[in-house]
Amino acid sequence: MELDKMDENDWKYHGEGNKSLVVSHVQHARVLRLLKYSTEDAENSHKTTEQAFRHIQNIVDYCQNVMKPLLGEKFVHNGEAVKLPLDFVRQLSLKVQQERPESRCDKVMDTLSGCALCLPNLTQLSSCCCCSREHRPPLCIEIKPKCGFLPASRDITKDIKKKVCRFCMHQHFKLANGKWKRLSHYCPLDLFSGNKQRMSLAIKHLIEEPQNNFNIFKGGECIYTCNDDADVFQDLDELAQHLRPYFLPSGSLLSRQQSSKVVLNELIQVIVSALLSTWDCPRSGQLRKTHLSEGRVTCEASLLHRDLLRNGNHCLPKDCVLDKILSTQMLDNLDIEGLSPLFKRVEQHLQMFPKERCRLQMDGPYNASFLEKVQNCPAEDDGSIEYAVGKVHQYRVAMTAKDCSIMVAIATCGEDDGLDQSLEIQPMKPRFTCSVSILDLDPKPYESISHQSRLDYKIVNHYLRRTQPDN
């Protein structure tokens, strides 16, 4: 990519989240991730190029020096901060505007700083040797799994938090506030259970109501995403038609309805095995008895049958992507309720000694010494500022892991064009190559902790009022 010869016609709208807008290159497997800000946010719109570049470099450092060692080298791509010509960015912004979903247009793309993050396009399996011979475009499934465990902290004041997971409680809050029109039946605890049946149902629920947690890309194009107004069954049928060539032999005599079911089921099985794969050591088969006691792995709001919940083996293979994400999420072991007093201790300390902000690395730099503070925080509170800072850092790292996305890229492989009848009778033969990555690993601002505390209070109280109005 030659930064001085950038042409907006080489780039197209790819997607966006709350913080950034992503465009992809039409030929090369690259994306640019540009920051967004709300129009009222005067501070950000006045950021100088140097400040904006520093901000993006901070994201890169955090990804590389903190999240990568925690989540695993093989899953994380840290990308590169780049400075783009302002004219290119302005043209690009005009070009993508009409493609943006209305619900995201409360924020605008940063066209003033010219800074962006350049990343590999993870919806395209570029390094796989067999795809070049393959005419079928790769599929990519994006899952934003959210928090996969129930907190066990002694500081929790509402018992319900130990029974119903945050995602399931949050659903009711979002529905009441008009964020979504329908409840999602997805429960993260099912996805992180390691039990294939529970995982399959969790993914089925994601497909049925994707919200912000599920997307499918084909050849880099998004073909399935949240659609609040749509007729879900129509959408599912259309999705199945897209997937049919990947999962059913061309001569299949199944009816459209039957084949939809088979195809979606096959997709789910491929995703489950990719999520449980331990890429380096496929034969080691080591299971981690998910650092959780029995009571903390099922959510009372999950729709799954009680027997399935009880009998499920709650094991994730060590070092699979879900294990890595879950153990990083679990660095938050005090819950926001236990963390709040420590956050206040830090606040007070910084008020008295403002210069300490730098030594304690409250806003970075995100280097080996920051990681050291995260990993070597004392287990018990000794009353020190170091303990409080260590817990605050751990909490922020856990927040990042609760908000990241998993990308499962799937390409059909094999000498033959994939699916002939002979493969049908050898179900064990792998027909796909998968690669798994993790994205959206931004540091969460230190200041957002007080917001988290208020939000937690609102979500839990709303849930209690809805479900137990008499208490």
> Which is nearest to 61 in space by CA: 362, 366, 358?
366
Least Å distance, CB 339 to Zn ion, is 21
Q: Pick from Mg ion, ligand ATP, Zn ion, none: which does 299 bind, CB < 5 to 8 A by kind?
A: Zn ion
Q: Is 69 among the residues that bind ligand ATP (CB under 6 A)?
A: no
Q: Is 168 among the residues that bind Zn ion (CB under 5 A)?
A: yes
Q: Pick from Mg ion, ligand ATP, Zn ion, none: which does 123 bind, CB < 5 to 8 A by kind?
A: ligand ATP
Q: Is 440 among the residues that bind ligand ATP (CB under 6 A)?
A: yes
**Phi and psi dihedrals of 83, rounded to 5?**
-110, 125
Least Å distance, CB 255 to Zn ion, is 35
Q: Pick from Zn ion, ligand ATP, Mg ion, none: which does 142 bind, CB < 5 to 8 A by kind?
A: ligand ATP
- Kind and range of the H or E element at 83? strand 80-83
Least Å distance, CB 323 to Mg ion, is 21
Least Å distance, CB 438 to ligand ATP, is 10
d(Cα 32, Cα 21) in Å, to the nearest integer?
8
Q: What is the dihedral of CA 346, 349, 353, 357, to 10 degrees?
A: -10
Q: 13 to 42, contacts with ligand ATP by CB under 6 A?
A: 14-20, 22, 31, 33
> Which is nearest to 412 in space by CA: 429, 394, 437, 400?
429
- Kind and range of the H or E element at 34? strand 30-38
d(Cα 332, Cα 371) in Å, to the nearest integer?
15
d(Cα 336, Cα 156) in Å, to the nearest integer?
8
Q: Is 440 among the residues that bind Mg ion (CB under 5 A)?
A: yes
What is the per-residue binding string for Zn ion in 273-312, x denoting contact by CB under 5 A?
Answer: --------------------------x-x-----------
Least Å distance, CB 212 to ligand ATP, is 7
Q: Which is nearer to ligand ATP, 20 or 302 (CB)?
A: 20
Choose, by CB under 6 A, the member of 44, 65, 111, 121 that binds ligand ATP. Answer: 121
Q: 8 to 27, contacts with Mg ion by CB under 5 A?
A: 17, 19
Q: Is 459 among the residues that bind Zn ion (CB under 5 A)?
A: no
Provide the token pair at 452: 């988290």
Q: Which is nearer to Mg ion, 19 or 95 (CB)?
A: 19
Strand ranges inside 355-465, DSSP E: 405-412, 432-439
Q: Is 180 among the residues that bind ligand ATP (CB under 6 A)?
A: no
Give the burial string for 356-367 (b: 16+ CB within 10 Å, else e): eeeebbbebebe
Least Å distance, CB 140 to ligand ATP, is 8
d(Cα 75, Cα 279) in Å, to the nearest integer?
10
Largest Cα–Cα distance of the chain, in whole Å?
75
Provide the terminal-to-terminal Cα distance of the chain, rounded to the nearest Å. 61
Q: Is 448 among the residues that bind ligand ATP (CB under 6 A)?
A: no
Compute the Cα dihedral for 387, 342, 296, 208 and give only its sign.
Answer: negative
Least Å distance, CB 355 to ligand ATP, is 31
d(Cα 78, Cα 62) in Å, to the nearest integer?
9
Binding site for Mg ion (CB under 5 A): 17, 19, 440
Binding site for ligand ATP (CB under 6 A): 14-20, 22, 31, 33, 119-123, 142, 215, 403, 405, 439-440, 442
